[in-house]
Amino acid sequence: MIHVHNFIDGKYQPALSGATIPNVNPSTGQVYGTIADSDENDVNLAVHIAQKAFPAWSQTSLDQRFAILNRIADIIDNKMDELALAESTDNGKPLWLSKKVDIPRAASNFRFFATAIKHFSSESYYDHPATLSYTLRQPIGIVGCISPWNLPLYLFTWKIVPAIAAGNCIIAKPSEITPVTASILGEICNEAGLPAGVLNILHGTGPNTGNAIVSHPDIKAISFTGGTATGKHIISIAGPMLKKLSLELGGKNAAIILDDCNYEKMLKDTVRSAFSNQGQICLCTSRLLIQDTIYDRFKSDFTHLVSQLKVGQPLETNYKIDQGAIVSKQHFDKILSAIELAKEEGGIVLAGGNKITLPPPFQDGYYIEPTVIEGLNQECRTNKEEIFGPVVTLQKFSSLDEAIQLANATGYGLDTVIWSSNTDTIHYLANNAQSGIVWVNCWLVRDLRTPFGGVKQSGLGREGGWDALRFFTESKSVTQQFL
């Protein structure tokens, strides 16, 4: 049994009330640990500690921050096996994926912002005859970071690192569904010499712990990644308190596939963009829009490849699995009911569509076949609502206008993927896509300097690069007139 405690003032401790919630291993469906369930008393304590740490931390030199953040990255690299095993056990994702993507990206987040803070600059203006104006970018103070379960350490660090680099002290909450790697990060930060109280990690449910963080009057900014409904709830509390907010929310992303694309690359990458991490990435393409001239060819080739994907227990080493377990029973049931809804709406299942029962001891784990559905128009719920699982739909288009109209016909606007070799087509579609991110002839290629975020119901604000450092600082204009 693994007992996940809060990390406050550089020390591990249970929730003050002693309350815990169970932690379930999604590959077996069995409880394998407990998680502290923190309430407002734990948040009050953590804020008090963070306030004590803030004056010293906000005054550290950039060299000191650079050194500590890089040391944390090095320790993450050294603990790769331990962290990857913890991530895949907690989340259900294939072990190779944790090793290839999640844990290396967590280390990259530290290295990226260690360097970025040394290059972060602000504007200055001169006006005749003798006026100089410049901008100071100062840390906000105590900030809250709340992250989801799909890329646990990857997204947790994507939020906390720019906040630390900018000189803030943090109250952070990972998802209660996948808390283990964030918990291990506490001891890594101690080993790297991050002063106690700079990063405080509280565990617990959203309504209990998350709500207490969002409502705390001394937490001045909230960076949140998760579902759109939760994001709206957070706005309803933090908005009237005039907190700074960055919200990275859900998606229902389209891939637009034209007949002049590099077909083989598109096919391979589209399988990946649809089913990576069991389809549980906010950026996954869940709606594939295909030009009518290649629809039948694509349908046949894609369905064939998808039906060959291997689903297995996340730590499988006898053969390479493509998909592991769905993260929780609740999410597993939600995905299966979305597949049933698609059938009721008239969808035809071309591949998958069922749950999978693996041999013991994994018979109670949460496994679903990669699923491909056609025959649904853009007006149905299946094509409008986020499923966040291994389920994609195919739709046909015959003109660029129809393609972009279909791509934009949801309430979400996170990313759009374009497959074409015609630059006019690419620019037309990229220009008209209602999304914060466009990938052309690729998917999930991330340059951490670029702004990251969505439009419409997919979010508010941008993360990444300077945007993250601007979010975690307050700008102050100073104007001096020379005598």
* Token pair belonging to 370: 């990669």
Catalytic residues: 248, 282
Binding of ligand NAD by 148 (CB under 6 A)? yes
Task: Compare residues 35 and 188 and give the one whose CB is closer to ligand NAD.
Answer: 35
**How many alpha carbons fall within 13 Å on the CB side of residue 299?**
18
* Residue 146 burial (C-beta neighbours within 10 Å; 0-12, 13-18, 19+): buried
Q: Which stretch binds ligand NAD (CB under 6 A): 89-97, 185-193, 219-227, 268-276?
A: 219-227
Question: Does residue number 171 form part of the binding site for ligand NAD (CB under 6 A)?
Answer: no
The residue among 179 and 312 lying less far from ligand NAD, judged by its C-beta, is 179
Q: Residues 146, 152, 154, 157: is their CA dihedral positive or negative?
A: positive
| CA angle (88, 106, 473) in 5-degree steps | 140
Closest CB to ligand NAD among residues 34, 420? 34
Of 231-250, which residues contact ligand NAD (CB under 6 A)? 233-234, 248-250
Q: Rule CB under 6 A: is residue 145 a binding residue for ligand NAD?
A: no
Closest residue by Cα to residue 389 from 238, 284, 261: 284
Residue 49 or residue 283: which is nearer to ligand NAD going by CB? 283
Are the C-beta atoms of 293 and 420 separated by less than 8 Å?
Answer: no
End-to-end CA distance of the chain: 70
- Spatial distance between the Cα atoms of 130 and 133, rounded to a whole number of angstroms: 10
183 binds ligand NAD (CB under 6 A): no
- In sequence order, what are the beta bridge partners of 391? 371
Q: Nearest distance from residue 307's CB to ligand NAD, in Å?
A: 26
With respect to ligand NAD, which residue has the nearer C-beta, 213 or 256? 213
Q: State yes or no: residue 386 binds ligand NAD (CB under 6 A).
A: yes
Q: Is 211 in the site for ligand NAD (CB under 6 A)?
A: yes
The residue type found at 338 is: A
Smallest separation, CB 205 to ligand NAD (Å): 6
Neighbour order of strands in the sheet with 473-481: 124-127, 131-139, 473-481
Q: Check binding of 225 to ligand NAD (CB under 6 A).
A: yes
Shortest approach of ligand NAD to residue 177 CB, angstroms?
7
**Which is nearer to ligand NAD, 281 or 404 (by Cβ)?**
281
Please say which residue, 207 or 346, places its beta carbon nearer to ligand NAD.
207
Q: Select the residue interacting with ligand NAD from 23, 25, 91, 175 (CB under 6 A).
A: 175
| Spatial CA neighbour of 122 closest among 109, 111, 130, 133 | 133
Q: Is 411 in the site for ligand NAD (CB under 6 A)?
A: no
Q: Rounded CA gap, 75 and 436, in Å? A: 33
Closest distance to ligand NAD from the beta carbon of 357 (Å): 24
Pick the binder of ligand NAD from 26, 167, 210, 365 (CB under 6 A). 210
Q: Which of residues 219 and 266 has its CB atom nearest to ligand NAD in the complex?
A: 219
Q: What residue type is assigned to position 164 of the chain?
A: I
Q: How far is the C-alpha of 425 from the C-alpha of 289, rounded, in Å?
A: 15
- Which of 5, 159, 173, 216: binder of ligand NAD (CB under 6 A)? 173
Contact between 186 and ligand NAD per CB under 6 A: no
Q: How many residues bind ligand NAD (CB under 6 A)?
A: 31
Question: Is residue 230 a contact point for ligand NAD (CB under 6 A)?
Answer: yes
414 touches ligand NAD by CB under 6 A: yes
Taken in order 80, 83, 86, 92, is the CA torsion positive or negative?
A: negative
Out of 9, 42, 87, 176, the only residue in the binding site for ligand NAD (CB under 6 A) is: 176
Q: How many CB atoms lie within 10 A of CB 479?
A: 10
Half-sphere exposure of 483 (CA within 13 A, CB side): 0
Task: Kindly state whether residue 282 participates in binding ligand NAD, applying the rule CB under 6 A.
Answer: yes
* Contact assessment for residue 452 and residue 437, using Cβ atoms and an 8 Å cutoff: yes
CA atoms within 13 A on the CB side of 479: 7
Binding residues vs ligand NAD (CB under 6 A): 146-150, 155, 173, 175-176, 205-207, 210-211, 214, 225-227, 230, 233-234, 248-251, 282, 386, 388, 414, 454, 459
